[in-house]
């Protein structure tokens, strides 16, 4: 196909990678925005989710939070932040993405801590652990797999959504797509789409590996095993 050739030609041109605002620049922007957004979401989401799960309160709150966040279009929040005094640019994008990354992290952390066997908590208390130790040394390792699922969901969603920043004059790899549409250079559009899709899949794989590494206990490869629980508890990411 002609367009595919154009896309390959675009990607094959070293100048497209190295120039100012070339692929490397945009990739760096994209990653910086995404990493900061995910870290902010983790700093807020993990402690709150852990405390709610530990005390067993706020289940309705987490479900409501993930439902409401699903109804708000990312594009809307990106645009609204851009017209507030925050101004458009990386900061508005990062804040908007962090807001959307909090629900998956928080919900999964909550479910992870909530799901820890009560007997384990009792045993930990009986061994003389204080609340802090119970939380950090008994519950945290057991909740780690689900917690990491939340972080992974959030990270993939953030990397994917950071593309939308380009629609409101933000940076990131989405710029190649929007610029291509504006300049009627559809080879570049396709090239940008390929790059963004690859980045999202790479993020997913990388974080799957990380979560496998931080999961305590005997390690099994979980490739091909898919859980089929219903997704109304907010396990599915919002708008990608």
Partner 1 sequence: MLSAASDAVLAADAAPNPWFDPSYVADNWDTILSYLGEHVRLTVAAVVLGALLALPLALIARRSRWLAAGVLGVSTLIYTIPSLAMFAFLFPVTGLSQTTVLIGLVLYSLVVLVRNFLAGLQSVPADVRESARGMGYGPVRLFWQVELPLALPSFMAGIRVATVSTVALVTVGVIVGHGGLGQLITGGFNANFYRAEIVTGAVGCVLLALVADLLLAGAERALTPWARQARS
Give the dihedral of Cα atoms 179, 183, 184, 190; nearest 10 deg.
Answer: -30
> Of the candidates 176, 180, 173, 166, which has an alpha carbon nearest to the alpha carbon of residue 82?
166
Cα distance between residue 103 and residue 68, in whole Å? 9
| Residue span 97-136 as binding mask against partner 1, x where in contact by CB under 8 A, dash where not | ----------------------------------------
* 177 part of the interface to partner 1, by CB under 8 A: yes
DSSP per position, 102-151? HHHHHHHHHHHHHTS-HHHHHHHHHTT--HHHIIIIIIHHHHHHHHHHHH
Candidates 47-55, 125-133, 163-171, 207-215; binding stretch for partner 1 (CB under 8 A): 163-171
Do the beta carbons of residue 49 and residue 106 sit within 8 Å? yes
Cα distance between residue 36 and residue 182, in whole Å? 29
Please give the residues from 28 up to 87 whose contact with partner 1 meets the rule CB under 8 A. 67, 70-77, 79-80, 82-83
Q: CB of 186: closest distance to partner 1 in angstroms?
A: 6
Q: CB of 19: closest distance to partner 1 in angstroms?
A: 21
Q: Which residues bind partner 1 (CB under 8 A)?
A: 1, 3, 67, 70-77, 79-80, 82-83, 156, 159-161, 163-164, 166-169, 174, 177-178, 180-181, 186, 189-190, 192-194, 196-197, 200-201, 204, 224-226, 228-232, 236-240
């Amino acid at each position: 196909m002609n367009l595919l050739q154009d896309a390959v030609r675009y990607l094959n041109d070293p100048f497209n990678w190295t120039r100012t605002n070339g692929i490397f620049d945009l990739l760096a922007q994209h990653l910086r925005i995404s990493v900061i957004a995910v870290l902010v979401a983790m700093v807020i989401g993990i402690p709150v989710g852990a405390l709610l799960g530990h005390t067993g309160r706020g289940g309705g709150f987490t479900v409501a939070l993930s439902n409401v966040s699903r109804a708000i279009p990312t594009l809307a929040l990106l645009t609204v932040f851009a017209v507030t005094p925050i101004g458009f640019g990386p900061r508005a994008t990062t804040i908007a993405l962090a807001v959307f990354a909090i629900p998956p992290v928080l919900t999964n952390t909550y479910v992870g801590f909530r799901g820890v066997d009560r007997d384990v908590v009792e045993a930990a208390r009986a061994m003389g652990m204080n609340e802090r130790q119970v939380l950090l040394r008994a519950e945290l390792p057991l909740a780690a797999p689900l917690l990491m699922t939340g972080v992974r969901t959030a990270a993939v969603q953030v990397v994917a959504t950071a593309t939308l920043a380009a629609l409101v004059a933000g940076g990131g790899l989405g710029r190649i797509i929007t610029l291509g549409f504006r300049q009627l250079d559809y080879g570049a559009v396709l090239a940008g789409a390929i790059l963004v899709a690859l980045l999202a899949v790479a993020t997913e794989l990388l974080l799957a590996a990380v979560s496998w590494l931080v999961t305590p206990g005997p390690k099994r490869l979980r490739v091909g095993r898919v859980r089929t629980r219903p997704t109304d508890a907010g396990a599915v990411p919002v708008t990608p």
